[in-house]
Structure 1
């Protein structure tokens, strides 16, 4: 007894001294419970229906657990593009493993799928669609519980409150969004150039941001190196056009009258062209990378190469390029195009105005090639023109320089008749689509002549489908001009999207094919008419203009369109292609020459351009507010030669006559005038899938007594979703009624997203691949000033608050982000 007492002290029975291997009672209980759980399929959780409303499902008092799902900003269902959070809770016990998995619906990427709180972004859907998810929880003792939750996803909506009209000197965006000024006129693009003083003393604009920021594309850049990464949303290259200049603000005291000083003229020339600039996002903030080796300015003095059928044509020969295969520069670049093989298309629009043509030039040309007089007149280069900004009046410090003389297109009778000794042919070197490789700063841009010569506004590709010949859609921005498309001779190969020689891919798809012009019929159908030499009167026997060959057809694209009877449109500007449907939209900005009845040089209303009216306080008659037309290719293929069409929306003030002017039923949340820029969200994010967001930008003079220019977001339907409408135009003592085809009234699927500062144009738009950052250009704020000392806008300095009244405005690129990090607009 004493031995036992020495081993075990008094314990009141709370020590286990049984060392046998007999079965313990706790083991029997655990075994029984485990079997019970298995028999009940592990259901021992409470399921909370989506967005609240608890539903008890197999509650087990012995092991209570709960699974919930929530979505920010919604109470019943979630719209595509919104963030969704799946939340599981454990009331008691210890968890060994957690796993969320999707069991139904369009596939999504789950973040933190092995944690109780997981999330995903609702995918794009065309109709309400259910997604199901299962949560499996394994306890430390091996018990498994499964439960599920269902999420209903609806098509995307415009999830912001429409911005009201504004005459303020700031960029106004909806609540919940931020504006960052990114890249301004004069900003240096390398470390050796001083910051802009913005007082008219800055020089060397070949190494600074140019003026009048316009069409623009973002190209994702690999995290290291200079190669494309189409998925990178935090580092990329912005490529943007510099269409024109606000001459008043570029010089210390405004411009000097002719004869122009050399220093002023070279600054003005260099402010035109294109910028390639690296941008990056760090800690949520965007900035341009000043010293990037990829930064580049392309100006009217940059060497160019011609490609396609017109290369080497006698019409391209100049003293600079005697063989007609090269040239210098690009000018008045308006809209753009983003190619699937990571190149940028810039488009020469109002280039004709830069050329001087002295009286008597027509007489000289008539003795050599009288056809050139017909051509020059059709493109608006008539005798007696002095040329924009008087550059030809400069006396250069280098007497051999032709930098200024090249803008004088007057033929010199005593020089060689083939154009190789003067610059009589310089106008024919402009009006083209120009392709740039932004990833190779040493590459020479190429003018793609197969796409025709005109006032190119933009050039956007249709959907790129393997094995199908791609199309590229273009507008000719002038009153009563045409809409075109070019169909490549080569079917698309997806492997070309990642080719390293990007301009060679451009050679493949853009140098050979068929150029077409559009004809719109009253019954809602239309045809693409081929501009091919030898067909449909495009031959040497044409009585108005005898075409010599295909190069002649392409140089004189407008004359070819005339010969085929194409439909005269109300200034065709930007084109955009719905990435989900392939339908093409084109902005028709306005047309002061559109009258109720045609007479003289005026054009009468027709089914595709059905309005002519007076919009007070103006007394001008015409289509003052513009419209947006759209077409659907036959069989939804880019190779089609026929289409159907309707008008997506007619621009108008909400207070205008709803019977004959405000045909789309616009109200104060979405009324607009003079649509110009146009772009669809990218298919790489939810805003560009299924029912993509379309962006509309304005360049207006008819509505600016009410509001500054603006940008709207839209979720358009399909061609034919509306009906027909009779429209009566009565003005100037004439009246005419036509029947047009109009889409379904936009209603809440069209909202004003942004209003710009004073006297600006909103133009140029692109986004990061994930859609969370949208880049916008603000062009020529304060353009109506009469003195640089009294600017009529102080933007972008005014964006941050009060700015000194003498601060000069600057065209700039901005970036818009959503404060919650989501996809913009939805």
Structure 2
């Protein structure tokens, strides 16, 4: 999600062994000399030197076998780069010399120079010994060996925490490198000019869009075919949530009506998604491929097909598709998910404010007005007044959602808002495929859609947050059980039809005792939504009505209003589901309005002396399905982490997780578990947490943290004393184990006025991709407040800021963060 300071936009608030080895000839000339050797465990805070282990055959000088040396026993931890070195010498020529692994979990040995080999320490649940043998054979066939044992411990965080700062760069720990990748305006097609970044650029249907958000990596092999395990070539899919309007135009932004058509088109095309090919030239030297045939922009003008129970119904009928089967485009794409069959799920979040829709109440039914109000489709202009750019071109008039006198759903765009708020499935490998809007997953302010742990024979679940204050957590459960053969199917969208078009949508109720219930949103079991204010009770007509008006149905079954549900993430080992709750304010979470799942109301002091009340720092809740079954009707939950300022917050009632200067944070937004294809995502997977913060930015820019979380119920109960402007009140809750330097550290801070959002890695975990959204968002061309990404490498940067993706790599080549 994005926090914009605009009155018009509402967001819902390589081997590195430095030793010099002699040549074999040098060793042969001095075969009785002995040389200290080294084994380095990369990623540790210091280089470790070990003694020498020697083995040689006995005999006279003319018949000795080679003399060999190898590093002595050493230790490391999962995910770190280990380099083994050895020497071999003999009076005769040494014909072969090689390392082999003789015991322990198998690793891939990569040959280096001068008899060195390296490997990534494997993922282990307990200390495990790996044994390696170095063997040299001379021309007479005589051989000698030397053995080294390396003890591998379970994964641990292997970096020094980044300090809070307000610098205009992406700051990462010592020993890491940041490479700026695709940026706003970068060309995706051959012949498209380089981005001028002065407001004169156009053609954004062939350029990277603005406000890059969620990321997903899809591997390619050398032939350009899908290769899930590829870490050297692939496609990066990125959402483009919104725009920093001022920097897109030469003289800044003007919202005066009528909008210039070219300006409005530019802004529209900056939304949506991009697919861009990335390549590693070797040793994680990354670049993107401008003219790749896979490159693609999906914009609000791209044709899409509706699927699921609401497809083809009157709710979706428009002049563009009078039978409600098709729609145009996707907008305000925030978080995402990816499926087990290699497609991406992109989520339409805060779409409602883009529409002009007021003054037509007389042409609307009470049911329509209730639904429009519940979703916030009430603007008198639309965020950017796009509808004023033309009176005849429906690329623009579609943003006017007013019902006309005597008109119908097929003559005006009264139903256009119903076309948005969905989860959209896209095949990244097929640029010609039409994206599919999956209506069975419901319509709301989708922040993310993350699949539960896939298990053969069990149903597929998708966990989704609705990003607005006092909204809900949802789960969709497929009718079909997972068939592992579908993971490699060629027709990926057809697999999506199987698992995402038929099933049951649920909404969560969090009980005070740490249990929870999934309430089904099924026609016939959902009661009328009670009257609220001037809006009468709402009676649901059919299942399509429930899916189009999901918020109303969730209200009706008594779902638990949450402190702004954001991303969902699923632990690939335990299957536990994490949900970030960014924040809430006093009007929506008053002193007397807390509950066990949203337990805090407090005053958060600012450097300027002001105090913000409510839950401005947010928290992260997690749940575990009963029986570890994705289709379970009940679950257990606790609050994994509470955001807080460690300097000013009450340690008992606000800083409940015991945060310190090395790991305090505010407003968690993005969250993602490392891939299970590398050591960071196995045994005890690493969780990445990203912030989108307005409460802590007087002290530090937004950030990303690395965590090694435990499990649900690893903490205990807690009674909080909340304090407001009018007194105090207590609230009981369930908490996770406290944060420590071992299980939570700040890994990254971003440039000025940015949000950190979007994260994925190559399957080997040795490159991490991170999105930097809207740096310098509070400035304009006359008063630029950030010069990132130019400022990343220049101290004299003057350019306008651009959202961009960065690739973060560990200089020694190990798994990032371990």
Normalising by structure 1, report the TM-score: 0.88
The reply on whether 1:607 has 2:596 as its aligned counterpart is yes
How many residues align? The count is 761
Q: Within 5 Å, which residues of 2 pair with 1:543-692?
A: 544-593=537-586, 597=590, 604-617=593-606, 618-655=610-647, 656-692=649-685
What is the distance in 2 between the residues matched to 1:298 and 1:561? 31
Q: Displacement, 1:111?
A: 3.5
C-alpha distance in 1 between matches for 2:286 and 2:118: 26
Corresponding residue of 2:198: 199
Residue deviations 1:541-575 (CA, integer Å, cap 9, x gap): 99832111111111111111111111111101011
1:319-366 Cα deviation digits (max 9, x unpaired) = 11110001111000001111221111110000001111122x222212
Report how far residue 313 of structure 1 moved: 1.2
Q: What per-residue deviation string (whole Å, max 9, x for no partner) do you get for residues 406-437 of structure 1?
A: 11111112113xx1111111111100000111
Equivalence for 1:42: none
**C-alpha contact 1:347 1:433 (8 A) present in aligned 2:** yes
**Could you tell me whether the CA contact under 8 Å between 2:529 and 2:556 is conserved in 1?**
no
Farther off after superposition, 116-125 or 583-592? 116-125
Matched, 1:388 2:380: no
**Structure 2 match to 1:28:** none
2:756 to 740, 762, 774: 762
Tell me, in whole angstroms, the C-alpha distance in 1 between the residues paired with 2:670 and 2:403. 37
Q: Does 1:410 align with 2:409?
A: no
Task: Specify the alignment match of 1:10 in structure 2.
Answer: none
Question: Which stretch shifts more, 674-683 or 146-155?
Answer: 146-155
In 2, the alpha carbon distance for the partners of 1:646 and 1:800 equals: 43
Task: Note closer, same or farther for the CA distance 1:595–1:252 as it changes in structure 2 (3 Å cut).
Answer: closer
Pick closer, same or farther for the CA change 1:611–1:788 going to 2, 3 Å: same
Q: Secondary structure at the match of 1:753?
A: strand
Q: Which residue of 2 aligns with 1:296?
A: 296
Give the drift of 1:139.
5.6
**Aligned residue for 2:45?**
none
1:432 equivalent in alignment to 2:431: no
Listed one character per residue, the Cα deviations across residues 578-618 of structure 1 (whole Å, up to 9, x for unaligned) are 1121111111000114667577xxxx111111111111124
Shift of 1:207: 1.2
Partners of 1:253 and 1:49 in 2: CA distance: 59
- The match for 1:79 is 77
How far 1:791 moved relative to its partner? 0.8
Q: Secondary structure at the match of 1:188?
A: coil
Give the alignment partner of residue 375 of structure 2, picking from 369, 372, 379.
Answer: 379
Q: Which moved more, 1:670-679 or 1:95-104?
A: 95-104
- Which residue of the partner structure matches residue 234 of structure 2? 236
1:443-483 alpha-carbon deviations (Å, 9 max, x no partner): 11110001110100011111222222121111000001111
Aligned to 1:454: 444
1:605/1:736 contact within 8 Å kept: no
Partner residue of 1:32?
A: none
Q: Would you say 1:792 and 2:781 are equivalent positions?
A: no
Counterparts of 2:439 and 2:740, CA distance in 1: 42
**Contact 2:341/2:492, CA 8 A, preserved across alignment:** yes
What corresponds to 1:12 in structure 2? Answer: none
Cα 1:58/1:354, change in 2 over 3 Å: closer
Q: Aligned-pair distance for 1:515?
A: 1.1
Aligned residue for 2:315, secondary structure, equals helix
The 3 A distance-change label for structure 1 pair 222 and 538 is farther
Looking at structure 2, the residues matched to 813 and 55 of structure 1 have their Cα atoms a distance apart, in angstroms, of 45
Larger RCO, structures 1/2 (Cα 8 Å, 6+ apart): 2
Superposed CA offset, 1:236-259 (max 9, x none) = 111111100111111111123222
Q: Deviations over 1:122-151 (max 9, x none)?
A: 111122222334455556555565664432
Which residue in the other structure is 2:20 paired with?
A: none
Structure 2: 5+ residue runs without aligned partners?
A: 1-35, 41-47
Partner residue in 2 for 1:753: 747
The equivalent residue for 1:27 is none
Once the two structures are TM-superposed, the CA of residue 162 in structure 1 deviates from its matched residue by 0.9
Change (3 A) 1:595 1:571: closer
Counterpart for residue 16 of structure 1: none
C-alpha contact (below 8 Å) 2:590/2:601 kept by paired residues? no
SS in 2 for 1:649: strand
Once the two structures are superposed, what CA deviation does each residue of 1:349-384 show, in whole Å capped at 9, x if it has no partner?
00001111122x222212xxx3121111111123x5
Cα distance, 1:821–1:59 mapped onto 2, change above 3 Å:
closer
Runs of 5+ consecutive residues of structure 1 not aligned to the other structure = 1-45
Give the aligned CA root-mean-square deviation in angstroms. Answer: 2.6
User: Which of 790, 805, 814 in structure 2 is aligned with 1:813?
Assistant: 805
The Cα shift of 1:107 comes to 2.5
Deviation at 1:172, TM superposition (A): 0.9
In 2, distance between residues paired with 1:565 and 1:463? 27
- CA displacement at 1:539 relative to structure 2: 9.6
Which has the higher mean CA deviation after the structures are superposed, 445-454 or 546-555? Answer: 546-555
SS in 2 for 1:152: strand
In 2, Cα distance between the equivalents of 1:733 and 1:514? 43
SS of match in other structure, 2:384: helix
Q: Is the 8 A contact 1:597 1:735 kept in 2?
A: no
Residue 275 (structure 1) aligns with: 274
- Distance (Å, rounded) in 1 between the aligned partners of 2:482 and 2:758: 27
Query: Within 1, Cα distance between the matches of 2:446 and 2:364?
Result: 26
CA-CA distance at 1:537 after TM superposition: 2.7
| Counterpart in the other structure of 1:336 | 336
Is residue 586–residue 601 contact of structure 2 (8 Å, CA) maintained in 1? no
User: Deviation digits for residues 260-299 of structure 1, max 9, x if unmatched?
Assistant: 1111111111111111111112144211111111111111
Q: Please state how far the C-alpha of 1:153 moved relative to its aligned partner.
A: 0.9
The structure-2 alpha-carbon separation of the partners of 1:70 and 1:486, relative to structure 1 and needing over 3 Å to count, comes to: farther
Q: CA-to-partner distance for each residue in 1:626-682, whole Å, 9 max, x for gaps? A: 111111111222222221111111111111110100111111111111011111111
Instruction: Give the match's secondary structure for 1:252.
Output: coil
Q: Distance in 2 between matches of 1:337 and 1:452?
A: 15
- Give the TM-score taking structure 2 as reference length: 0.89
Aligned to 2:210: 211
2:265 corresponds in structure 1 to: 266
Report the CA distance between 1:392 and its aligned residue.
1.6
Is 1:694–1:716's contact at 8 Å kept on the other side of the alignment? Answer: yes
Q: Distance in 1 between matches of 2:496 and 2:769?
A: 25
Once the two structures are superposed, the pairs formed by residues 463-612 of structure 1 within 5 Å of their partners are 463-537=453-527, 544-593=537-586, 597=590, 604-612=593-601
Distance 1:363 1:648 in 2: 48
- CA distance in 2 between partners of 1:724 and 1:244 (Å): 40
**Paired residue for 2:129?**
130
> Aligned equivalents of 1:320 and 1:639: distance in 2?
37
2:703 paired residue number: 710
Give me the whole-angstrom Cα distance separating, in 1, the residues matched to 2:417 and 2:613. Answer: 33
2:718 pairs with 1:725 = yes
1:101·1:113 contact (CA, 8 Å) conserved in 2? no
CA contact (8 A) 2:591 2:724 kept: no
2:411 equivalent among 413, 421, 424: 421
SS in 2 for 1:374: helix
- Structure 1 CA distance for aligned equivalents of residues 811 and 673 of structure 2: 22
Larger radius of gyration: 1
What is the Cα deviation at residue 105 of structure 1?
2.9
Q: How do residues 172-191 of structure 1 correspond to structure 2 at under 5 angstroms?
A: 172-191=171-190
Secondary structure at the residue paired with 1:358?
A: coil
Aligned counterparts of 2:690 and 2:669: Cα–Cα separation in 1? 6
- In structure 1, the partner of 2:109 is 110
Pairs within 5 Å for 1:4-19: none
Cα distance in 2 for partners of 1:541, 1:668 equals 47
For residues 45-72 of structure 1, the C-alpha deviation after alignment (integer angstroms, 9 at most, x for no partner) is: x99999666598998764685553468x
2:306 is the alignment partner of 1:306: yes
Would you say the 8 A contact 2:445–2:466 is kept in 1?
yes
Q: How does 1:15-30 map to 2 (within 5 A)?
A: none
Shift of 1:760: 0.6
Q: Is the contact between residue 176 and residue 809 of structure 2 (CA under 8 Å) also seen in structure 1?
A: yes
